Amino acid sequence: MANTLKQLLGCTGFQWDDSNTDKNWIKHKVSWTECEELFFNELLLITSDVEHSGIEPRFYALGQTDAGRLLFVVFTLRGELLRVISARDMSKREKKEYKGGRSKADSEDTEV
């Protein structure tokens, strides 16, 4: 995952497929701008999606938009570009995982 983090930090932008942006909007009312916001806000939890990785590695991210909307985003990395595959609101289980990560991050920030 360390190599993935290095690649993620080296991303210079996003790559969009029109069908994915349309699909995310039609199915889940998630705009491409909300997907991008997620990657610039804290707390962002990223995990490898080994089960759905085929030709290329896939990852999922739990994070929030500028407006505080909690999203689950599946993405891949293509060179220096991040390509969103799908996005939707977090499930109850994902919200619990995300809030648990936030609690852990908050307690680490306050440790002396």
Instruction: Please report the pLDDT score of residue 22 as a whole number.
Output: 87
pLDDT on residue 31? 95
Mean pLDDT in order along the chain per 10 residues (112 residues): 74 85 90 94 88 80 96 93 95 94 58 37
So what's the pLDDT on residue 101?
A: 79
pLDDT reported for residue 2:
63
Is residue 74 within 8 Å of residue 30, measured between CB atoms? Answer: no
What are all long-range contacts of 36-45, with beta carbons under 8 Å and residues at least 24 apart? 37/65, 37/66, 38/63, 38/64, 38/65, 38/71, 38/73, 38/87, 39/63, 39/82, 41/65, 41/66, 42/105, 43/98, 43/101, 43/102, 43/105, 45/97, 45/98, 45/101
pLDDT at position 109, please? 45
CA distance readout (Å), 54 to 24, 57, 91: 21, 7, 24
Residues 6 or more apart whose CB falls under 8 angstroms from that of 106 comprise: none
